[in-house]
Amino acid sequence: MKVLLVEDDAMITSGLCYALEQDGFEVDTVSTVTAAIHALQGGGHSLVLLDLGLPDGSGYTVCKAAKEEQDLPVIFLTAVEDEGNVVKGLDMGADDYITKPFRIRELLSRIRSVLRRYEKRGGDAGGVLKFGDVRILTREAKVQKNGQEVPLTAMEYRLLLCMAEHPGQVFSRNRLLESIWDVSGDFVNDNTLTVYVKRLREKLEDDAANPTLIRTVRGLGYCIG
Ligand code: CA
């Protein structure tokens, strides 16, 4: 599980990083709004720890991006003098906040509690997975692009869902073949997989010749997000 830590105080960052890693988390550390937005676009995070006062702007901007694009859990790390602003953060959808200086143990327990709340929601925030301008309504097994429904075959849907459930993760061709095997009941070969990916791109990408949603990771496989 990967945490994005957005904090410009090097002392806090190094202490937190160490504690989180000891607790089994992977940590991405950035110290500016710009770097945080960039890191979020890379995907793969399960939670954001967010300082409010950053050198190039406010943590609010990062919170907005984390919420609107991926509905990630966000915990603010605030200074005592920020407390008046915490309300604004919570209004923006932040899940919790903790005031500096804090005890690491307390933060870890808040993190676990926020993550538990998200898990209860089923992980995909109310049955919707989003990437770019594509939404997958997992309860209805429907896919929309820019709000318009895109008809997919069962095989295409299964393949898309498999990758979209793990944004940022690279799927080998073998792993994807396994994921669609039980839908078809027939042998799906490597060339067939190439055809399915091509069809998915034709249906979902703005420009199927230059795919940005379903990326090819050379020599490894495919990746969404
Ligand atoms: Ca700061």
pLDDT digits (tens, 9 = 90+) for 159-182: 998 898 887 888 888 888 877 765
**How far is residue 169's CA from residue 48's CA, in Å, rounded to a whole number?**
18
Query: What is the pLDDT averaged over residues 86-105?
Result: 84
| Ligand 1 center to 90 CA (angstroms) | 18
**How far is residue 119's CA from residue 139's CA, in Å, rounded to a whole number?**
16
In this predicted structure, the answer to whether residue 38 has a pLDDT above a threshold of 80 is yes
Which percentage of the chain shows pLDDT scores above 90? 44
Domains of the chain: 2-121 (3.40.50.2300), 128-224 (1.10.10.10)
Q: Is 71 exposed, middle or buried (0-12, 13-18, 19+ CB in 10 A)?
A: middle
| Ligand 1 center to 12 CA (angstroms) | 10
Pairing mode, strands 221-224 and 170-172: antiparallel
Give tens-digit pLDDT for 184-209: 556 677 788 899 999 999 999 999 99
Q: DSSP per residue over 35-103, as a string? A: HHHHHHHH---SEEEEESEETTEEHHHHHHHHHHHH---EEEEE-GGGHHHHHHHHHTT--EEEESS--
- The confidence score (pLDDT) of residue 118 equals 77
- The confidence score (pLDDT) of residue 138 equals 80
Structure tokens at 207: 């420009």
* Confidence at 216, pLDDT banded by 50, 70, 90: very high
Q: Is 38 exposed, middle or buried (0-12, 13-18, 19+ CB in 10 A)?
A: exposed
| Ligand 1 center to 52 CA (angstroms) | 6
In this predicted structure, the answer to whether residue 218 has a pLDDT above a threshold of 60 is yes
In this predicted structure, the answer to whether residue 42 has a pLDDT above a threshold of 60 is yes
Give tens-digit pLDDT for 48-88: 999 999 999 999 999 999 988 788 899 999 887 777 777 77
| Ligand 1 center to 25 CA (angstroms) | 22
- The confidence score (pLDDT) of residue 36 equals 97
- The confidence score (pLDDT) of residue 180 equals 75
| Ligand 1 center to 79 CA (angstroms) | 8
Q: Which residue's structure tokens are 């998915």?
A: 200
- The confidence score (pLDDT) of residue 190 equals 77
| Ligand 1 center to 166 CA (angstroms) | 31
| Ligand 1 center to 179 CA (angstroms) | 44
| Ligand 1 center to 109 CA (angstroms) | 22
Structure tokens at 188: 């799906």
- The confidence score (pLDDT) of residue 93 equals 78
In this predicted structure, the answer to whether residue 183 has a pLDDT above a threshold of 70 is no
* Confidence at 131, pLDDT banded by 50, 70, 90: confident
- The confidence score (pLDDT) of residue 143 equals 94
Mean pLDDT of the chain: 87
